[in-house]
Amino acid sequence: MTKPIEIKNRLQTLWHQLYPEPEHQPVLSKLMVEMEDTLSELHFKPQAEGWYKDAVVYSLYIDLFNHTFDGLIEKLDMLKELGINCLWLLPLLESPMRDAGFDIKDYRNIRASLLGLPDTTSQEVKQQEFRKFLTEAHDRGIRVIFDVAMNHTSEEHPWFVESRKGPDNPYRDYYIWNKDTNKYQETRLLFKGMCPSNWEKSGDWYFFHRFFEFQPDLNYKNPQVMLEICRVLLFWLRQGLDGFRADAIPYLWKEEGTDCENLPQTHVILKIFRALLDYVRPNTLLLAEACQPPVEVVRYFGNNDECHAGYHFPLMPMIFKSLAVADATSVMEVLSPEVTPEIPADNQWFLFLRLHDELTLEMVTPEDRKIIHDHYCKQPHWDFRVGEGISARLAELLDRDERKIALAYSIMFTLPGTPVIYYGDEFARLNDDAFYHAFKKETGKDDSRYLVRGPLNWDETEEKLSDKNSLASKVNKRIREMLAIRNQTKTFGRGQLKWVNITLFTSNPPHQPILGYYRIHEKEQLLILQNLSDTMHTITRIDDQTISGENLFTGLKVHSPFTLKPFEYVWIKVS
């Protein structure tokens, strides 16, 4: 455990790397005092080291899931029973809601509607209600993390309202303004097809934005901005939050003559955030949302002094490609050391099949993008960002086929990392066209991601779950079975991965239709075999040996040869 004085010294060194001018020292001094004050106020137990490695994460919008926090509390026992032990709450802070809450208007205020309270309710009362929810979750062994958009705010945020008033306003430098659009010309458009430029005119000036034009980017060259965001982290630590999903972090620092992504100063910013968390409440999760190649994401772990964990964005499309072409090669290649470097023991990948956004195809080759897009974009309006993504629920992508959906989950639950389940996918929730069209009409934005963001109807859902023959019930049963096994062992979250050579009974096909690997932790060795094809296959040998063990789903003894039906999977505890 690093000593507090060492963390403070580290933070001071990092601060001076970004802000070496003597006039910025008082800002650092303020931060140090506020860190000490927060530490003295904190009454929560220390977080367990590496807890996020053993997590099963459930991602939801509170209002769309069950209206309010009270509605969520009603479902906590159900989620616990499903096998969930961490909630990732999608944006819940005060917002005009033009980008599902990622356009933040107030970093310290939860939207009153999510608490079932009037808009005039005081911040103190809202915090009391939020802390009540945290207590309910924690009493059930469920940790809670949520999103903090650190790169940008809403244009309705008071800082930007002031900034807009003119060059002499004290908040002007909280954002990035220019007299023309000739700055940061090498910066790519993230919302291709929806935003024509990274600059938006306001009066005689332009402000810079990486996302929608109503989300101006913060200016971290101003130390006051760094102080303000650090204060936000301290505020939520005092409420008892277990972690933060750091939204859009590759874009935090901007520098002329660069593409404004993954710059060295961005890593210094994250090291400051991490030092703050380590000082006040160690093992508070800092999760990197960086849609970048794995070799870049790994850099956001630093030397265990930046983010604890990060999403593995390129793996998701390769899972879908492997399912589309019935060939395990794509998954194996994306997880090879050449593509995905080995990460330190304290860090972790977060894995997902669907998030709150699209099946993103940013991180794939043009050839793979065409294969995946052609196979899965089954309706024109599912397209997102002109071919760079597909907006559709998991069940829709996988043909509403119970076998394919369960197989995809088997892959995610057994590969190295922490799995994330997107609300509703655990019972085969379908696209919500009505919600998408209503949003499009209300905002004028054709954002197809709203197809996957519709509200749950629990009366309808419970009726489907009670019908053993429904798709919802069949998928839910399979996921419960898998999570019950996963949660009994630390091997899936912490174990090594070892690919296997598979000998099939029939002559080997041109592709590798079986995705197979060992997961090994301490003395436990689990063999995972998954048939990606619509054809039955018999496996005679693994690594040129016969295998025997226990089928973890049935408890029965098994030994090779193994016959796998189309889209079947088996988890074996090897003798």
Catalytic residues: 247, 289
Identify the three-state secondary structure at position 150: coil
Cβ neighbours, 10 Å, residue 326: 18
One-letter amino acid at 252 equals L
Is there a contact between 454 and 64 (Cβ–Cβ < 8 Å)?
yes
Helix (H) or strand (E) holding 288: strand 285-288
Q: Which residues pair with 148 in a beta bridge?
A: 246
For residue 509, whether the previous peptide bond is cis, meaning omega lies within 30 degrees of 0, is no
What whole-number distance in Å separates Cα of residue 548 and Cα of residue 564? 15
Backbone angles phi, psi at 417, to 5 degrees: 145, -175
* Among 427, 419, 420, 421, residue whose Cα is nearest residue 456: 427
Distance CA 318, CA 330 (A): 6
Q: Which residue, 414, 363, 391, 374, is CA-closest to 520?
A: 414
148: how many CB neighbours lie within 10 A of its CB? 21
Q: How far apart are CA 66 and CA 68, in angstroms?
A: 6
How many Å from the N-terminal Cα to the C-terminal Cα in the chain?
38
Token output for 262: 């993954």
Residues 427, 405: Cα–Cα separation, whole Å: 10
Strands 418-422 and 502-504 turn out to be: unpaired
Judge whether 304 and 261 are in contact, CB under 8 Å: no
Helix (H, G, I), strand (E, B) or coil at 394: helix
Sign of the dihedral through C-alpha 155, 157, 159, 161: positive
Give the torsion through C-alpha atoms of 93, 95, 100, 103, to 10 deg: -100
Strand 548-551 to strand 569-574: parallel, antiparallel, or no bridges (unpaired)? antiparallel
Q: What are phi and psi of 278, to 5 degrees?
A: -65, -30
- Write out the H or E segment, with its range, that includes residue 147: strand 143-149
Cβ atoms 215, 153 nearer than 8 A: yes
Q: Angle, to 10 degrees, between the axis of helix 264-280 and the axis of helix 223-239?
A: 30
Pairing of strands 309-311, 285-288: parallel
The set of residues, in sequence order, having a beta carbon less than 8 Å from that of 253 and lying 6+ positions away, is: 220, 221, 260, 263, 265, 266, 269
Reported in sequence order, the residue ranges of 216-308 that DSSP labels E, i.e. its strands, are: 243-247, 285-288
Angstrom distance (rounded) from CA 113 to CA 394:
29
Asked whether the CA dihedral 283, 289, 293, 299 is positive or negative, the reply is negative
